[in-house]
Structure 1
């Protein structure tokens, strides 16, 4: 039974590692799309990238503790999200509102992934606590992005 839980826990953690990788790539892409006058967003997005790296490091450590191989890629939906961001940018330009809309879309996806992870059975108490703490941090990030988006729309 314990082995099975290790696999389930590692799988859940690996999904969240991929979400962290998606966030890093999404925000790095958003940084590239910003204009000079959006310096405030650049510093916020750099902080989001740092946050994702911190979360990922904690998740990777837990996967290794379980004796499993940590995920290194991004999710398929993340790749689809980035492609969608590319196509949308072609039609709408790289304005502040579009970038913030795309970032909020990504943050919504991260919230959903973390919520699903917490609903999984067999998640150990310490992992549930780690995931819950990261979800709370990500919710704060989501609300920051949403607030900025609301100001421009």
Structure 2
């Protein structure tokens, strides 16, 4: 029972950070004028939403539930995604990409903290590893766009 509490708490934290990412990407998509980035951001927003849904199924299996669709308390802290708000107000793609990089790194750090206890999450460890890998790949792609944009602006 104690194990289920830890599992549900950690899964809720991951769901919150995924929802923060979904919201951040959706906001970034609404703000950028680049069609290429708009499509990329919408793709990652949908991916984060799907990841959250996958984790909600595991959360339910451990007796928890998450009705949260828009991030969490960690979001107040982690809303580095909402540093995106500042970046968005500038409407500069470079600032938006920088804020997204910070948000994605926060997500990876959260996944790493959970993955440090593989025995606790044995029934869904592969799912967590797959999602973490996808977020890492997204971060790499965002960094590539950011570097490309910075080189153009030099």
* Structure 1 runs (4+) greater than 2 angstroms displaced: 75-90
- 1:10–1:66 Cα contact (<8 Å) kept: yes
Bigger drift between 66-75 and 17-26 goes to: 66-75
Structure 2 partner of 1:40? 36
Cα deviation code 1:91-119 (max 9, x no counterpart): xx211111111111111111111111111
Higher relative contact order (CA 8 A, sep 6+): 1
TM-score, normalising length: structure 1: 0.87
Structure 1 partner of 2:83? 84
2:21 to 20, 23, 35: 23
Q: CA deviation at 1:71?
A: 5.1
- How many residue pairs end up in the alignment? 147
Structure 2 partner of 1:105? 102
TM-score, normalising length: structure 2: 0.87
- 1:14–1:71 Cα contact (<8 Å) kept: no
Q: Residue 42 and residue 83 in structure 1: after superposition, are their counterparts in 2 closer, same or farther (change >3 A)?
A: closer
User: For the aligned residues, what is the CA RMSD?
Assistant: 1.7
- 5+ residue gaps, structure 1, are none
- 5+ residue gaps, structure 2, are none
Q: Residue 96 and residue 18 in structure 1: after superposition, are their counterparts in 2 closer, same or farther (change >3 A)?
A: same
2:65 to 65, 69, 73: 69
